[in-house]
Chains A and B, each alone.
Chain A
Protein backbone atom coordinates (compact mmCIF):
# COMPACT_ATOMS: atom_id res chain seq x y z
CA UNK A 1 0.00 0.00 0.00
CA UNK A 2 2.48 2.64 1.19
CA UNK A 3 6.11 1.75 0.78
CA UNK A 4 9.25 3.76 1.52
CA UNK A 5 12.45 2.50 -0.10
CA UNK A 6 15.71 3.97 1.22
CA UNK A 7 14.26 7.44 1.31
CA UNK A 8 16.62 10.30 2.03
CA UNK A 9 15.57 13.92 2.31
CA UNK A 10 18.13 16.63 2.61
CA UNK A 11 17.66 20.36 3.08
CA UNK A 12 20.45 22.69 2.11
CA UNK A 13 20.28 24.47 5.48
CA UNK A 14 19.89 21.56 7.91
CA UNK A 15 21.41 18.58 6.14
CA UNK A 16 19.78 15.14 6.14
CA UNK A 17 16.36 15.21 7.77
CA UNK A 18 15.53 11.65 6.75
CA UNK A 19 18.20 9.04 6.11
CA UNK A 20 17.62 5.73 4.37
CA UNK A 21 14.08 5.31 5.64
CA UNK A 22 12.37 2.09 4.52
CA UNK A 23 9.07 0.60 5.65
CA UNK A 24 5.96 -0.91 4.17
CA UNK A 25 2.40 -0.30 5.37
CA UNK A 26 -0.04 -2.94 4.15
CA UNK A 27 -3.68 -2.53 3.23
CA UNK A 28 -5.81 -2.05 6.28
CA UNK A 29 -2.88 -1.49 8.59
CA UNK A 30 -2.85 1.15 11.32
CA UNK A 31 0.53 2.45 12.40
CA UNK A 32 1.86 5.24 14.58
CA UNK A 33 4.73 7.41 13.53
CA UNK A 34 6.59 8.71 16.52
CA UNK A 35 9.83 10.33 17.55
CA UNK A 36 11.19 13.42 19.27
CA UNK A 37 10.43 16.77 17.71
CA UNK A 38 12.75 17.37 14.82
CA UNK A 39 13.13 13.66 14.18
CA UNK A 40 11.64 14.05 10.71
CA UNK A 41 7.98 13.14 11.28
CA UNK A 42 6.51 16.14 9.45
CA UNK A 43 9.03 15.84 6.65
CA UNK A 44 8.01 12.23 6.15
CA UNK A 45 4.34 13.26 5.97
CA UNK A 46 5.18 16.03 3.51
CA UNK A 47 6.87 13.50 1.29
CA UNK A 48 3.72 11.37 1.29
CA UNK A 49 1.59 14.42 0.41
CA UNK A 50 4.12 15.27 -2.30
CA UNK A 51 4.56 18.72 -0.81
CA UNK A 52 8.26 17.87 -0.80
CA UNK A 53 10.23 15.40 -2.90
CA UNK A 54 12.89 13.05 -1.60
CA UNK A 55 16.49 13.33 -2.76
CA UNK A 56 17.10 9.59 -2.91
CA UNK A 57 14.96 6.48 -2.78
CA UNK A 58 11.35 5.94 -3.81
CA UNK A 59 7.91 6.20 -2.24
CA UNK A 60 5.20 3.91 -3.58
CA UNK A 61 1.46 4.34 -3.09
CA UNK A 62 -0.56 1.48 -4.53
CA UNK A 63 2.10 0.81 -7.15
CA UNK A 64 2.58 4.44 -8.11
CA UNK A 65 5.87 6.16 -7.52
CA UNK A 66 5.09 9.37 -5.60
CA UNK A 67 8.64 10.62 -5.76
CA UNK A 68 8.60 10.56 -9.57
CA UNK A 69 5.05 11.86 -10.08
CA UNK A 70 4.55 14.63 -12.57
CA UNK A 71 3.34 17.97 -11.28
CA UNK A 72 0.01 17.53 -13.08
CA UNK A 73 -0.53 14.12 -11.44
CA UNK A 74 -0.12 15.34 -7.87
CA UNK A 75 -3.76 16.47 -7.35
CA UNK A 76 -5.02 13.04 -8.39
CA UNK A 77 -2.55 11.29 -6.09
CA UNK A 78 -3.65 13.47 -3.18
CA UNK A 79 -7.25 12.37 -3.75
CA UNK A 80 -6.16 8.89 -2.72
CA UNK A 81 -5.14 10.19 0.70
CA UNK A 82 -7.08 11.86 3.46
CA UNK A 83 -5.11 14.29 5.60
CA UNK A 84 -5.93 15.26 9.15
CA UNK A 85 -4.07 18.07 10.89
CA UNK A 86 -3.45 19.15 14.43
CA UNK A 87 -4.81 22.62 13.64
CA UNK A 88 -7.73 21.09 11.66
CA UNK A 89 -7.19 23.40 8.65
CA UNK A 90 -10.87 24.16 8.24
CA UNK A 91 -12.25 27.08 6.23
CA UNK A 92 -13.70 29.40 8.85
CA UNK A 93 -16.04 31.19 6.44
CA UNK A 94 -17.67 27.97 5.26
CA UNK A 95 -20.18 25.77 7.00
CA UNK A 96 -19.37 22.31 8.26
CA UNK A 97 -21.18 20.89 5.24
CA UNK A 98 -19.14 22.95 2.78
CA UNK A 99 -15.89 22.07 4.52
CA UNK A 100 -16.58 18.36 4.36
CA UNK A 101 -17.89 18.63 0.79
CA UNK A 102 -14.73 20.32 -0.53
CA UNK A 103 -12.89 17.15 -1.68
CA UNK A 104 -16.05 15.96 -3.44
CA UNK A 105 -16.62 19.31 -5.14
CA UNK A 106 -13.01 19.24 -6.30
CA UNK A 107 -13.37 15.69 -7.60
CA UNK A 108 -16.42 16.84 -9.58
CA UNK A 109 -19.23 14.93 -7.91
CA UNK A 110 -22.86 15.82 -8.56
CA UNK A 111 -25.01 17.68 -6.10
CA UNK A 112 -27.02 14.77 -4.75
CA UNK A 113 -24.00 12.53 -4.48
CA UNK A 114 -22.14 15.19 -2.49
CA UNK A 115 -25.05 15.73 -0.16
CA UNK A 116 -25.44 11.98 0.45
CA UNK A 117 -21.77 11.37 1.10
CA UNK A 118 -21.27 14.41 3.33
CA UNK A 119 -24.19 13.35 5.51
CA UNK A 120 -22.81 9.83 5.72
CA UNK A 121 -19.36 11.08 6.70
CA UNK A 122 -20.77 13.45 9.32
CA UNK A 123 -22.88 10.69 10.80
CA UNK A 124 -19.82 8.50 10.91
CA UNK A 125 -17.92 11.00 13.07
CA UNK A 126 -21.00 11.77 15.16
CA UNK A 127 -21.72 15.26 13.88
CA UNK A 128 -25.13 14.75 12.29
CA UNK A 129 -27.23 17.87 12.46
CA UNK A 130 -24.27 20.25 12.62
CA UNK A 131 -24.03 20.70 8.84
CA UNK A 132 -25.03 24.36 8.92
CA UNK A 133 -22.77 25.36 11.80
CA UNK A 134 -19.55 27.27 11.23
CA UNK A 135 -16.30 25.79 12.55
CA UNK A 136 -15.83 28.55 15.13
CA UNK A 137 -19.12 27.57 16.74
CA UNK A 138 -17.80 24.07 17.45
CA UNK A 139 -15.55 22.73 20.19
CA UNK A 140 -11.99 21.62 19.42
CA UNK A 141 -12.96 17.97 19.39
CA UNK A 142 -15.86 18.67 17.05
CA UNK A 143 -13.66 20.69 14.72
CA UNK A 144 -11.20 17.84 14.60
CA UNK A 145 -14.04 15.49 13.71
CA UNK A 146 -15.07 17.82 10.88
CA UNK A 147 -11.48 17.52 9.68
CA UNK A 148 -11.73 13.75 9.88
CA UNK A 149 -15.03 13.72 8.01
CA UNK A 150 -13.42 15.78 5.26
CA UNK A 151 -10.49 13.37 5.09
CA UNK A 152 -12.68 10.29 4.71
CA UNK A 153 -15.58 11.68 2.67
CA UNK A 154 -13.85 10.78 -0.59
CA UNK A 155 -13.14 7.27 0.76
CA UNK A 156 -9.40 7.36 0.22
CA UNK A 157 -7.48 4.10 0.76
CA UNK A 158 -4.92 5.94 2.92
CA UNK A 159 -5.47 8.28 5.85
CA UNK A 160 -2.63 10.36 7.24
CA UNK A 161 -3.06 12.17 10.53
CA UNK A 162 -0.53 14.67 11.85
CA UNK A 163 -0.80 14.95 15.65
CA UNK A 164 -4.58 14.62 15.47
CA UNK A 165 -5.01 14.61 19.24
CA UNK A 166 -2.44 17.26 20.05
CA UNK A 167 -5.03 19.82 21.10
CA UNK A 168 -7.51 17.45 22.74
CA UNK A 169 -7.92 16.11 26.27
CA UNK A 170 -7.12 12.41 26.84
CA UNK A 171 -10.73 11.26 26.81
CA UNK A 172 -11.46 12.98 23.49
CA UNK A 173 -8.14 11.76 22.16
CA UNK A 174 -8.92 8.13 22.75
CA UNK A 175 -12.34 8.63 21.19
CA UNK A 176 -10.69 10.01 18.06
CA UNK A 177 -8.30 7.06 18.07
CA UNK A 178 -11.22 4.61 18.21
CA UNK A 179 -12.59 6.38 15.15
CA UNK A 180 -9.32 5.73 13.32
CA UNK A 181 -9.50 2.08 14.33
CA UNK A 182 -12.97 1.88 12.83
CA UNK A 183 -11.58 3.10 9.51
CA UNK A 184 -8.85 0.52 9.71
CA UNK A 185 -11.45 -2.19 10.21
CA UNK A 186 -13.06 -1.42 6.87
CA UNK A 187 -9.75 -1.77 5.05
CA UNK A 188 -8.34 1.75 5.12
CA UNK A 189 -4.63 2.17 5.78
CA UNK A 190 -4.00 4.67 8.57
CA UNK A 191 -0.76 6.40 9.55
CA UNK A 192 -0.88 8.61 12.64
CA UNK A 193 2.02 10.85 13.61
CA UNK A 194 1.98 11.41 17.33
CA UNK A 195 4.30 11.85 20.29
CA UNK A 196 1.65 10.94 22.83
CA UNK A 197 3.51 7.85 24.08
CA UNK A 198 0.92 6.92 26.72
CA UNK A 199 -1.86 6.89 24.14
CA UNK A 200 0.21 4.89 21.66
CA UNK A 201 1.21 2.30 24.25
CA UNK A 202 -2.43 1.83 25.28
CA UNK A 203 -3.32 0.82 21.74
CA UNK A 204 -1.86 -2.28 20.31
CA UNK A 205 -0.60 -1.16 16.92
CA UNK A 206 2.55 -1.01 14.90
CA UNK A 207 4.89 1.84 15.80
CA UNK A 208 7.39 3.48 13.43
CA UNK A 209 9.92 5.41 15.46
CA UNK A 210 12.17 8.03 13.97
CA UNK A 211 15.35 9.21 15.64
CA UNK A 212 17.38 11.96 14.01
CA UNK A 213 16.07 11.05 10.59
CA UNK A 214 16.56 7.33 10.91
CA UNK A 215 13.94 4.70 11.46
CA UNK A 216 14.95 2.88 14.64
CA UNK A 217 11.71 0.95 15.12
CA UNK A 218 9.37 -0.22 12.41
Chain B
Protein backbone atom coordinates (compact mmCIF):
# COMPACT_ATOMS: atom_id res chain seq x y z
CA UNK B 1 0.00 0.00 0.00
CA UNK B 2 1.58 3.17 -1.10
CA UNK B 3 1.07 6.20 1.08
CA UNK B 4 0.43 9.64 -0.25
CA UNK B 5 3.85 11.29 -0.39
CA UNK B 6 4.55 14.03 2.11
CA UNK B 7 6.15 16.16 -0.58
CA UNK B 8 2.90 16.86 -2.39
CA UNK B 9 1.24 17.82 0.87
CA UNK B 10 3.80 20.45 1.71
CA UNK B 11 3.58 21.83 -1.78
CA UNK B 12 -0.17 21.96 -1.30
CA UNK B 13 0.36 24.07 1.79
CA UNK B 14 2.21 26.68 -0.22
CA UNK B 15 -0.78 26.75 -2.54
CA UNK B 16 1.38 26.16 -5.55
CA UNK B 17 0.52 22.58 -6.31
CA UNK B 18 1.53 20.95 -9.50
CA UNK B 19 -2.19 21.06 -10.19
CA UNK B 20 -2.62 24.83 -10.26
CA UNK B 21 0.67 25.09 -12.10
CA UNK B 22 -0.77 22.90 -14.83
CA UNK B 23 -3.88 25.06 -14.91
CA UNK B 24 -1.83 28.14 -15.60
CA UNK B 25 0.07 26.42 -18.41
CA UNK B 26 -3.28 25.41 -19.92
CA UNK B 27 -4.48 28.95 -19.86
CA UNK B 28 -1.42 30.08 -21.81
CA UNK B 29 -1.90 27.25 -24.25
CA UNK B 30 -5.45 28.32 -25.08
CA UNK B 31 -4.16 31.79 -25.93
CA UNK B 32 -1.87 30.40 -28.59
CA UNK B 33 -3.77 30.89 -31.84
CA UNK B 34 -4.95 27.78 -33.63
CA UNK B 35 -3.33 25.32 -31.31
CA UNK B 36 -6.38 24.37 -29.31
CA UNK B 37 -8.78 23.94 -32.22
CA UNK B 38 -6.30 21.76 -34.08
CA UNK B 39 -5.80 19.71 -30.90
CA UNK B 40 -9.55 19.28 -30.48
CA UNK B 41 -10.01 18.24 -34.10
CA UNK B 42 -7.20 15.74 -33.75
CA UNK B 43 -8.75 14.44 -30.55
CA UNK B 44 -12.10 14.11 -32.31
CA UNK B 45 -10.51 12.18 -35.16
CA UNK B 46 -8.72 9.96 -32.65
CA UNK B 47 -12.03 9.27 -30.90
CA UNK B 48 -13.56 8.09 -34.15
CA UNK B 49 -10.54 6.00 -35.08
CA UNK B 50 -10.53 4.47 -31.62
CA UNK B 51 -14.25 3.69 -31.78
CA UNK B 52 -13.82 2.20 -35.27
CA UNK B 53 -11.07 -0.19 -34.26
CA UNK B 54 -12.17 -0.97 -30.72
CA UNK B 55 -15.63 -1.96 -31.94
CA UNK B 56 -14.04 -4.31 -34.47
CA UNK B 57 -11.82 -5.62 -31.69
CA UNK B 58 -14.89 -6.36 -29.57
CA UNK B 59 -16.47 -8.32 -32.41
CA UNK B 60 -13.29 -10.37 -32.78
CA UNK B 61 -13.09 -10.86 -29.01
CA UNK B 62 -16.44 -12.70 -28.93
CA UNK B 63 -16.23 -14.66 -32.19
CA UNK B 64 -19.13 -17.04 -31.54
CA UNK B 65 -21.69 -14.29 -31.03
CA UNK B 66 -20.30 -12.25 -33.90
CA UNK B 67 -20.35 -15.18 -36.33
CA UNK B 68 -23.95 -16.04 -35.40
CA UNK B 69 -25.14 -12.47 -35.90
CA UNK B 70 -23.22 -11.96 -39.11
CA UNK B 71 -24.41 -15.31 -40.52
CA UNK B 72 -28.07 -14.40 -39.96
CA UNK B 73 -27.56 -10.93 -41.42
CA UNK B 74 -25.59 -12.25 -44.37
CA UNK B 75 -28.28 -14.78 -45.25
CA UNK B 76 -30.99 -12.10 -45.15
CA UNK B 77 -28.89 -9.79 -47.31
CA UNK B 78 -27.97 -12.67 -49.65
CA UNK B 79 -31.68 -13.46 -50.14
CA UNK B 80 -32.43 -9.84 -50.99
CA UNK B 81 -29.50 -9.40 -53.35
CA UNK B 82 -30.18 -12.86 -54.82
CA UNK B 83 -33.70 -11.73 -55.75
CA UNK B 84 -32.21 -8.67 -57.33
CA UNK B 85 -29.77 -10.72 -59.39
CA UNK B 86 -32.48 -13.15 -60.53
CA UNK B 87 -34.60 -10.22 -61.71
CA UNK B 88 -31.64 -8.76 -63.49
CA UNK B 89 -31.09 -12.04 -65.34
CA UNK B 90 -34.77 -12.37 -66.25
CA UNK B 91 -34.77 -8.86 -67.59
CA UNK B 92 -31.80 -9.69 -69.74
CA UNK B 93 -33.61 -12.79 -70.96
CA UNK B 94 -36.72 -10.78 -71.80
CA UNK B 95 -34.58 -8.23 -73.58
CA UNK B 96 -33.11 -10.91 -75.80
CA UNK B 97 -36.52 -12.31 -76.60
CA UNK B 98 -37.87 -8.94 -77.61
CA UNK B 99 -35.43 -8.52 -80.45
CA UNK B 100 -36.66 -11.77 -81.95
CA UNK B 101 -40.23 -10.45 -82.29
CA UNK B 102 -41.53 -11.14 -85.77
CA UNK B 103 -44.52 -10.69 -88.06
CA UNK B 104 -45.99 -13.78 -89.65
CA UNK B 105 -47.72 -13.34 -93.02
CA UNK B 106 -50.02 -16.17 -93.97
CA UNK B 107 -50.50 -15.84 -97.73
CA UNK B 108 -53.77 -16.46 -99.65
CA UNK B 109 -54.42 -20.02 -100.75
CA UNK B 110 -54.10 -19.23 -104.46
CA UNK B 111 -50.63 -17.72 -104.20
CA UNK B 112 -48.01 -19.91 -105.82
CA UNK B 113 -44.51 -20.52 -104.51
CA UNK B 114 -42.89 -18.36 -107.22
CA UNK B 115 -45.30 -15.50 -106.62
CA UNK B 116 -44.56 -15.80 -102.94
CA UNK B 117 -40.82 -15.70 -103.64
CA UNK B 118 -41.14 -12.49 -105.70
CA UNK B 119 -43.34 -10.97 -103.06
CA UNK B 120 -40.83 -11.84 -100.33
CA UNK B 121 -38.07 -10.11 -102.31
CA UNK B 122 -40.29 -7.03 -102.63
CA UNK B 123 -40.89 -6.95 -98.88
CA UNK B 124 -37.19 -7.43 -98.27
CA UNK B 125 -36.54 -4.07 -99.98
CA UNK B 126 -38.72 -2.25 -97.42
CA UNK B 127 -36.34 -0.22 -95.22
CA UNK B 128 -38.26 -1.20 -92.06
CA UNK B 129 -37.68 -4.89 -92.72
CA UNK B 130 -34.49 -6.60 -91.74
CA UNK B 131 -35.06 -10.07 -93.01
CA UNK B 132 -37.71 -12.16 -94.74
CA UNK B 133 -37.85 -15.91 -94.50
CA UNK B 134 -40.10 -17.97 -96.75
CA UNK B 135 -41.61 -21.15 -95.42
CA UNK B 136 -43.03 -23.25 -98.25
CA UNK B 137 -46.12 -25.43 -97.87
CA UNK B 138 -43.97 -28.56 -97.79
CA UNK B 139 -41.63 -27.16 -95.19
CA UNK B 140 -44.58 -26.06 -93.10
CA UNK B 141 -46.18 -29.46 -93.39
CA UNK B 142 -42.96 -31.29 -92.49
CA UNK B 143 -42.46 -29.05 -89.48
CA UNK B 144 -46.03 -29.46 -88.41
CA UNK B 145 -45.82 -33.25 -88.70
CA UNK B 146 -42.77 -33.50 -86.52
CA UNK B 147 -43.64 -30.89 -83.90
CA UNK B 148 -47.40 -30.93 -83.51
CA UNK B 149 -47.88 -34.55 -82.61
CA UNK B 150 -50.65 -34.90 -85.19
CA UNK B 151 -48.24 -36.55 -87.67
CA UNK B 152 -50.34 -39.60 -88.45
CA UNK B 153 -53.64 -37.73 -88.61
CA UNK B 154 -52.19 -35.25 -91.06
CA UNK B 155 -50.86 -37.92 -93.44
CA UNK B 156 -54.49 -38.92 -94.00
CA UNK B 157 -55.13 -35.56 -95.69
CA UNK B 158 -54.98 -35.66 -99.49
CA UNK B 159 -54.04 -32.04 -100.03
CA UNK B 160 -51.77 -29.77 -98.06
CA UNK B 161 -54.05 -27.27 -96.26
CA UNK B 162 -51.22 -25.08 -95.05
CA UNK B 163 -50.54 -21.72 -96.69
CA UNK B 164 -47.16 -20.31 -97.65
CA UNK B 165 -45.84 -18.29 -94.72
CA UNK B 166 -43.45 -15.34 -94.78
CA UNK B 167 -41.63 -14.63 -91.52
CA UNK B 168 -40.76 -10.96 -91.45
CA UNK B 169 -38.17 -9.69 -88.96
CA UNK B 170 -38.68 -5.97 -88.52
CA UNK B 171 -35.75 -3.65 -88.15
CA UNK B 172 -35.30 -2.41 -84.58
CA UNK B 173 -36.80 -3.94 -81.47
CA UNK B 174 -40.12 -3.55 -79.81
CA UNK B 175 -39.45 -0.05 -78.51
CA UNK B 176 -41.31 1.54 -81.42
CA UNK B 177 -44.65 -0.19 -81.18
CA UNK B 178 -46.36 2.27 -83.52
CA UNK B 179 -43.86 1.58 -86.27
CA UNK B 180 -44.57 -2.13 -85.93
CA UNK B 181 -48.30 -1.50 -86.04
CA UNK B 182 -47.91 0.59 -89.22
CA UNK B 183 -45.87 -2.13 -90.86
CA UNK B 184 -48.52 -4.63 -89.88
CA UNK B 185 -51.29 -2.46 -91.37
CA UNK B 186 -49.50 -2.15 -94.74
CA UNK B 187 -49.15 -5.94 -94.88
CA UNK B 188 -52.84 -6.38 -94.11
CA UNK B 189 -53.86 -4.29 -97.13
CA UNK B 190 -51.67 -6.34 -99.50
CA UNK B 191 -53.73 -8.59 -101.81
CA UNK B 192 -51.43 -11.63 -101.34
CA UNK B 193 -51.77 -11.60 -97.58
CA UNK B 194 -54.56 -13.51 -95.91
CA UNK B 195 -53.60 -12.97 -92.25
CA UNK B 196 -50.83 -10.74 -90.87
CA UNK B 197 -49.96 -11.49 -87.27
CA UNK B 198 -47.68 -9.60 -84.92
CA UNK B 199 -46.90 -11.68 -81.87
CA UNK B 200 -46.89 -8.85 -79.38
CA UNK B 201 -49.31 -10.23 -76.89
CA UNK B 202 -47.04 -12.78 -75.32
CA UNK B 203 -44.26 -10.22 -75.11
CA UNK B 204 -46.63 -7.94 -73.29
CA UNK B 205 -47.63 -10.76 -71.00
CA UNK B 206 -44.03 -11.52 -70.30
CA UNK B 207 -43.52 -7.85 -69.50
CA UNK B 208 -46.35 -7.76 -67.02
CA UNK B 209 -45.19 -11.00 -65.42
CA UNK B 210 -41.76 -9.44 -65.06
CA UNK B 211 -43.31 -6.28 -63.61
CA UNK B 212 -45.28 -8.33 -61.07
CA UNK B 213 -42.22 -10.33 -60.07
CA UNK B 214 -40.24 -7.14 -59.78
CA UNK B 215 -42.84 -5.73 -57.42
CA UNK B 216 -42.88 -8.93 -55.42
CA UNK B 217 -39.09 -8.87 -55.23
CA UNK B 218 -39.17 -5.24 -54.08
CA UNK B 219 -41.64 -6.14 -51.32
CA UNK B 220 -39.55 -9.11 -50.24
CA UNK B 221 -36.46 -6.94 -50.21
CA UNK B 222 -38.20 -4.34 -48.05
CA UNK B 223 -39.12 -7.07 -45.60
CA UNK B 224 -35.59 -8.41 -45.60
CA UNK B 225 -34.19 -4.91 -45.06
CA UNK B 226 -36.49 -4.58 -42.04
CA UNK B 227 -35.20 -7.93 -40.78
CA UNK B 228 -31.64 -6.66 -41.11
CA UNK B 229 -32.57 -3.51 -39.18
CA UNK B 230 -34.13 -5.52 -36.37
CA UNK B 231 -31.26 -7.99 -36.15
CA UNK B 232 -28.73 -5.16 -36.02
CA UNK B 233 -30.85 -3.35 -33.43
CA UNK B 234 -31.11 -6.44 -31.27
CA UNK B 235 -27.37 -7.07 -31.47
CA UNK B 236 -26.75 -3.53 -30.27
CA UNK B 237 -29.27 -4.02 -27.47
CA UNK B 238 -27.27 -7.02 -26.21
CA UNK B 239 -24.01 -5.15 -26.62
CA UNK B 240 -25.40 -2.21 -24.66
CA UNK B 241 -26.56 -4.58 -21.96
CA UNK B 242 -23.06 -6.05 -21.69
CA UNK B 243 -21.52 -2.62 -21.42
CA UNK B 244 -24.14 -1.07 -19.15
CA UNK B 245 -21.71 -0.27 -16.39
CA UNK B 246 -19.40 1.51 -18.78
CA UNK B 247 -22.25 3.57 -20.19
CA UNK B 248 -23.42 4.56 -16.72
CA UNK B 249 -19.95 5.65 -15.63
CA UNK B 250 -19.34 7.54 -18.87
CA UNK B 251 -22.61 9.40 -18.34
CA UNK B 252 -21.70 10.29 -14.77
CA UNK B 253 -18.44 11.88 -15.88
CA UNK B 254 -20.20 14.00 -18.50
CA UNK B 255 -20.42 11.93 -21.68
CA UNK B 256 -22.87 13.24 -24.25
CA UNK B 257 -25.36 11.04 -26.04
CA UNK B 258 -23.24 11.05 -29.18
CA UNK B 259 -20.11 10.00 -27.27
CA UNK B 260 -21.95 7.02 -25.81
CA UNK B 261 -23.57 6.09 -29.11
CA UNK B 262 -20.44 6.28 -31.21
CA UNK B 263 -18.83 2.88 -30.47
CA UNK B 264 -22.20 1.15 -30.83
CA UNK B 265 -22.86 2.77 -34.18
CA UNK B 266 -19.45 1.58 -35.34
CA UNK B 267 -20.33 -1.92 -34.16
CA UNK B 268 -23.48 -1.66 -36.29
CA UNK B 269 -21.40 -0.50 -39.21
CA UNK B 270 -19.00 -3.43 -38.89
CA UNK B 271 -21.65 -6.12 -38.67
CA UNK B 272 -23.45 -4.60 -41.67
CA UNK B 273 -20.24 -4.22 -43.64
CA UNK B 274 -18.97 -7.74 -42.96
CA UNK B 275 -22.42 -9.23 -43.59
CA UNK B 276 -22.56 -7.41 -46.93
CA UNK B 277 -19.28 -8.94 -48.00
CA UNK B 278 -20.31 -12.41 -46.82
CA UNK B 279 -23.67 -12.04 -48.63
CA UNK B 280 -21.82 -11.14 -51.82
CA UNK B 281 -19.80 -14.34 -51.53
CA UNK B 282 -22.88 -16.44 -50.82
CA UNK B 283 -24.73 -15.14 -53.88
CA UNK B 284 -21.69 -15.33 -56.14
CA UNK B 285 -20.93 -18.91 -55.12
CA UNK B 286 -24.56 -19.91 -55.74
CA UNK B 287 -24.48 -18.29 -59.17
CA UNK B 288 -21.28 -20.14 -59.99
CA UNK B 289 -22.98 -23.39 -59.04
CA UNK B 290 -25.93 -22.49 -61.28
CA UNK B 291 -23.79 -21.31 -64.15
CA UNK B 292 -23.02 -24.68 -65.71
CA UNK B 293 -26.63 -25.72 -66.09
CA UNK B 294 -27.70 -22.27 -67.29
CA UNK B 295 -24.96 -22.20 -69.92
CA UNK B 296 -26.04 -25.64 -71.10
CA UNK B 297 -29.62 -24.45 -71.44
CA UNK B 298 -28.45 -21.35 -73.22
CA UNK B 299 -26.40 -23.35 -75.73
CA UNK B 300 -29.64 -25.04 -76.81
CA UNK B 301 -30.96 -21.59 -77.70
CA UNK B 302 -28.00 -20.38 -79.79
CA UNK B 303 -26.14 -18.96 -76.78
CA UNK B 304 -28.41 -15.97 -76.54
CA UNK B 305 -28.27 -15.89 -72.76
CA UNK B 306 -25.39 -15.59 -70.32
CA UNK B 307 -25.63 -15.52 -66.56
CA UNK B 308 -25.09 -12.03 -65.14
CA UNK B 309 -23.20 -11.55 -61.87
CA UNK B 310 -22.85 -8.46 -59.68
CA UNK B 311 -20.86 -5.80 -61.46
CA UNK B 312 -18.51 -3.50 -59.60
CA UNK B 313 -20.99 -0.73 -58.83
CA UNK B 314 -23.60 -3.25 -57.69
CA UNK B 315 -21.09 -4.87 -55.37
CA UNK B 316 -20.25 -1.48 -53.94
CA UNK B 317 -23.93 -0.63 -53.54
CA UNK B 318 -24.59 -3.97 -51.84
CA UNK B 319 -21.86 -3.46 -49.26
CA UNK B 320 -22.77 0.19 -48.70
CA UNK B 321 -26.44 -0.64 -48.24
CA UNK B 322 -25.63 -3.44 -45.81
CA UNK B 323 -23.36 -1.10 -43.79
CA UNK B 324 -26.00 1.64 -43.79
CA UNK B 325 -28.67 -0.80 -42.60
CA UNK B 326 -26.37 -1.88 -39.78
CA UNK B 327 -25.82 1.71 -38.69
CA UNK B 328 -29.48 2.72 -38.98
CA UNK B 329 -30.67 -0.39 -37.10
CA UNK B 330 -28.22 0.35 -34.29
CA UNK B 331 -29.18 4.00 -34.21
CA UNK B 332 -32.90 3.31 -33.93
CA UNK B 333 -32.24 0.78 -31.19
CA UNK B 334 -30.05 3.25 -29.26
CA UNK B 335 -32.68 5.99 -29.47
CA UNK B 336 -35.05 3.77 -27.50
CA UNK B 337 -32.58 2.17 -25.13
CA UNK B 338 -30.54 5.19 -24.09
CA UNK B 339 -33.70 7.04 -23.21
CA UNK B 340 -34.81 4.27 -20.91
CA UNK B 341 -31.43 3.50 -19.41
CA UNK B 342 -31.39 5.02 -15.96
CA UNK B 343 -28.23 5.82 -14.10
CA UNK B 344 -27.63 3.39 -11.24
With a cutoff of 8 Å between Cβ atoms, the chain A residues found around residue B205 in the complex are none
With a cutoff of 8 Å between Cβ atoms, the chain A residues found around residue B47 in the complex are 105, 108
Residue B3 interfacial (CB < 8 Å)? yes
Q: How many interface residues does chain A have, given as a range?
A: 35 or more
With a cutoff of 8 Å between Cβ atoms, the chain B residues found around residue A155 in the complex are 19, 23
With a cutoff of 8 Å between Cβ atoms, the chain B residues found around residue A49 in the complex are 252, 343
Residue A120 interfacial (CB < 8 Å)? yes
Residue B121 interfacial (CB < 8 Å)? no
With a cutoff of 8 Å between Cβ atoms, the chain B residues found around residue A77 in the complex are 254
With a cutoff of 8 Å between Cβ atoms, the chain B residues found around residue A197 in the complex are none
The secondary-structure label for the interface of chain A is helix
Residue A117 interfacial (CB < 8 Å)? yes
B1 near A142: Cβ-Cβ < 8 Å: yes
Residue B4 interfacial (CB < 8 Å)? yes
With a cutoff of 8 Å between Cβ atoms, the chain A residues found around residue B252 in the complex are 49, 78, 83, 89
Nearest CB to that of B35 among chain A residues?
A110
Smallest distance from the beta carbon of A110 to chain B beta carbons, Å?
A: 4
With a cutoff of 8 Å between Cβ atoms, the chain A residues found around residue B344 in the complex are 51
With a cutoff of 8 Å between Cβ atoms, the chain A residues found around residue B39 in the complex are 109-110, 113
A108 near B22: Cβ-Cβ < 8 Å: no
**CA of A194 to CA of B4 in the docked complex: distance in angstroms?**
22
Residue A37 interfacial (CB < 8 Å)? no
User: 1/0 contact trace for B93-114 toward A, CB 8 Å?
Assistant: 0000000000000000000000
A186 near B12: Cβ-Cβ < 8 Å: yes
User: Interface stretch among B165-173, B194-202, B242-250, B283-291?
Assistant: B242-250
B4 near A175: Cβ-Cβ < 8 Å: yes
Residue A107 interfacial (CB < 8 Å)? yes
* Contact residue among A83, A106, A117, A182 (Cβ-Cβ distance under 8 Å from B22): A117
* Contact residue among A111, A141, A150, A186 (Cβ-Cβ distance under 8 Å from B1): A141
8 Å CB contacts to B: which residues of A42-85?
A: 49, 51, 72, 75-79, 83
A89 near B249: Cβ-Cβ < 8 Å: yes
Residue A198 interfacial (CB < 8 Å)? no
B253 near A102: Cβ-Cβ < 8 Å: yes
* Contact residue among B42, B245, B254 (Cβ-Cβ distance under 8 Å from A78): B254
Residue B17 interfacial (CB < 8 Å)? yes
Smallest distance from the beta carbon of B226 to chain A beta carbons, Å?
A: 30
* Contact residue among B17, B245, B253 (Cβ-Cβ distance under 8 Å from A186): B17
Residue A132 interfacial (CB < 8 Å)? no
Residue B15 interfacial (CB < 8 Å)? yes
Interface residues of A (CB under 8 A from B): 49, 51, 72, 75-79, 83, 89-91, 102-103, 105-111, 113, 116-117, 120, 123-127, 130, 139, 141-142, 145, 150, 152, 154-155, 175, 178-179, 182, 185-186
Given contacts A51-B342, A110-B46, A139-B1, 6 further A-B contacts (CB under 8 A): A108-B43, A108-B44, A117-B22, A178-B4, A178-B9, A186-B12
A-B pairs, 8 with minimum CB distance: A126-B4, A79-B254, A110-B39, A78-B254, A103-B253, A182-B12, A75-B256, A106-B255
- Jot down 27 A-B pairs with beta carbons below 8 A, ordered by A: A51-B343, A75-B251, A76-B254, A83-B252, A89-B248, A102-B249, A102-B253, A103-B254, A105-B47, A106-B250, A106-B253, A107-B254, A108-B47, A109-B43, A110-B46, A111-B42, A111-B43, A120-B18, A123-B8, A124-B17, A124-B19, A126-B4, A142-B2, A175-B4, A178-B9, A185-B15, A186-B15
